[in-house]
């Protein structure tokens, strides 16, 4: 079921609670406006990331079981037992060293995570930013963060009676997991966002099919990279990669271009493009199950009209902070690593309009950006975006550059020479 359909079946009191909790609005809104506001927040990568990184086991098992289920739904009868079994399996695999074996890389990350949890259990914005940098520097995958939460060192924060019920209640209260007709389910249009936040490329069955296209040596190398045992048959190696939640995107980046092109042909995807393009195409193709139905994959064509030239575009998005930029990139599943210049280049190459990109920021974030450039912060989201675009379209570029170098922002001034 779609998110909007599930929200529409909720009572007005529930919708007002969600709007107040997620959008921080105390205004009395019409029901259509309530639905639109809540759907916009829940579909936001930024919201999902902040919320889910603050959940603890067994939320991970709840979400992964539903993401792997047909139509993202499972019967409530026996669901808690399945969540308990999966959580216990992950804990046992970590404790035995079967998973997350390269402990030298994880020890520092685990200690920082423990300290952050010890403060008040909640990971605030600065702590999340520090953990993000650590993951990048220590080569810790996003999914490994959620696995590390199962480590014995961190169980004191969550391993107690009622943990499953507490986490399911929190996910349900947030509007991420719904219970309808005796089934627990995730809205189908939220599933891709949740997967990205968890660092999971596709279902386990999809990953298993994809790994089947790799050679025994390529599978062995992938296992060696994550510190797992490399022996056994091809099927055993694939099962071990699945157990370790090794992500196809990471594994494919290590194989050769010939293998990627052959895999594209085998799954029915186009074979043109760079190595990164091929990896992205294979993951998207198999993740959507198109390798099973054999439908040709149409090349996505995105060329939205823009208001600003490249220089003004870069100056506008250069005013965003790291978390604001990461939120926009995450919304479109674009590369989020690298410095700000590289991130702005990624946004430029996405061929999406400034309005589309800025529209992924929350009203509060847009208000902050407007204040940052000395513009009036009020108005609707559309008005705020228009005010930013008008400012950067009319202000003198040389003045903007000089202000950026000086660390300040000029008052809006219209210049006759826009070049």
169-184 pLDDT per residue, tens: 999 999 999 999 999 9
Structure tokens at 313: 């575009």
**CA angle, 293 then 295 then 298, to 5°:** 145
Question: Of 391 and 337, which is predicted with more confidence?
Answer: 391
Count CB-CB contacts under 10 A for residue 303: 8
Determine the Cα–Cα distance for residues 254 and 235; give it in Å rounded to an integer.
Answer: 20
The verdict on whether omega for the bond into residue 58 sits within 30 degrees of 0, i.e. cis, is yes
CA distances from 239 to 90, 204, 292 (A): 14, 10, 20
Per residue in 193-227, pLDDT (tens digit) is: 999 999 999 999 999 999 999 999 999 999 998 88
Q: What is the pLDDT of residue 407?
A: 57
Question: In the numeric block, which tokens belong to residue 318?
Answer: 């250069």
Residue with tokens 């998973």: 99
> Where does residue 303 fall: left (phi above 0), alpha (psi -120 to 50 degrees), or beta otherwise?
beta
Residue 418 has pLDDT above 70, yes or no: no
Helix (H, G, I), strand (E, B) or coil at 158: coil
Rounded Cα gap, residues 174 and 176, in angstroms: 6
Residue 145 pLDDT: 94
335-345 pLDDT tens trace: 777 788 999 99
- In angstroms, rounded to a whole number, what is the distance separating the alpha carbons of residues 265 and 268? 5
3-state secondary structure 109-151: HHHHHHHHHHHHCCCCHHHHHHHHHHHHHHCCCHHHHHHHCCC
Cα separation values, 260 from 183, 239, 249, 364, Å: 39, 21, 11, 43
At 29, the pLDDT band (50, 70, 90 cuts) reads confident
At 68-97, the pLDDT tens digits run 999 999 999 999 999 999 999 999 989 888
What percent of the chain lies above the pLDDT cut of 90?
Answer: 63
pLDDT bracket for residue 21 (50, 70, 90): confident
* Model pLDDT for residues 117-130, shown as the tens digit of each residue: 998 888 998 999 99
pLDDT above 50: residue 414: no
Q: pLDDT at position 411, please?
A: 47
Distance CA 232, CA 229 (A): 9
H/E element holding 222?
helix 216-225
pTM of the complete model beyond 0.75: no
Least confident of 104-118, 234-248, 282-296, 349-363: 282-296
Would you list the domain boundaries of the chain? 43-198, 204-293, 310-406
- Mean predicted lDDT score pLDDT of the chain: 88
Q: Quote the pLDDT of residue 156.
A: 94
**395 against 302, higher pLDDT:** 395
């Amino acid at each position: 079921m779609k998110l909007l359909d599930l929200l529409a079946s909720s009572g007005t009191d529930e919708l007002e609670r969600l709007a107040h909790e997620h959008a921080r609005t105390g205004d009395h809104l019409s029901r259509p406006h309530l639905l639109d506001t809540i759907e916009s927040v829940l579909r936001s990568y930024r919201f999902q990331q902040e919320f889910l990184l603050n959940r603890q086991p067994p939320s991970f098992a709840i979400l992964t079981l539903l993401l792997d289920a047909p139509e993202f739904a499972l019967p409530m009868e026996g669901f808690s037992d399945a969540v308990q079994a999966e959580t216990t399996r992950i804990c046992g695999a970590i404790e035995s060293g079967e998973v997350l074996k390269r402990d030298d890389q994880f020890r520092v990350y685990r200690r920082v995570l423990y300290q952050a949890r010890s403060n008040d259990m909640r990971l605030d914005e600065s702590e999340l930013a520090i953990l993000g940098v650590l993951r990048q520097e220590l080569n810790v995958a996003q999914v490994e963060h959620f696995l590390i939460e199962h480590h014995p060192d961190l169980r004191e924060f969550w391993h107690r009676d009622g943990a499953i019920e507490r986490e399911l209640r929190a996910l349900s209260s947030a509007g991420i997991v719904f219970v309808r007709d005796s089934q627990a389910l995730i809205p189908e249009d939220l599933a891709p966002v949740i997967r990205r936040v968890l660092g999971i490329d596709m279902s386990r069955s999809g990953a298993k099919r994809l790994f089947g296209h790799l050679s025994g040596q390529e599978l062995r190398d992938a296992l060696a990279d994550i510190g797992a045992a490399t022996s056994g048959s091809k099927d055993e190696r694939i099962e071990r990669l699945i157990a370790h939640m090794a992500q196809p995107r990471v594994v494919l980046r290590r194989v050769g271009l010939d293998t990627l092109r052959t895999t594209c042909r085998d799954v029915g995807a186009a074979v043109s493009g760079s190595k990164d393009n091929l990896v992205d195409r294979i993951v998207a193709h198999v993740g959507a199950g198109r390798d099973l139905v054999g439908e040709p994959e149409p090349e996505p064509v995105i060329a939205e009209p823009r208001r600003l030239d490249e220089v003004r575009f870069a100056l506008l998005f250069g005013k965003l902070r790291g978390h604001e930029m990461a939120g926009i990139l995450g919304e479109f599943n674009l590369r989020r690593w690298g410095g700000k210049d590289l991130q702005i280049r990624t946004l430029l190459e996405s061929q999406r309009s400034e309005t589309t990109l800025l529209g992924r920021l929350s009203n509060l974030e847009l208000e902050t950006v407007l204040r940052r450039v000395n513009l009036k912060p009020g108005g609707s989201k559309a008005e705020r975006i228009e005010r930013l675009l008008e400012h950067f379209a009319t202000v003198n570029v040389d003045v903007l550059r000089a202000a950026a170098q000086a660390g300040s922002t000029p008052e809006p001034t219209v210049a006759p020479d826009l070049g």
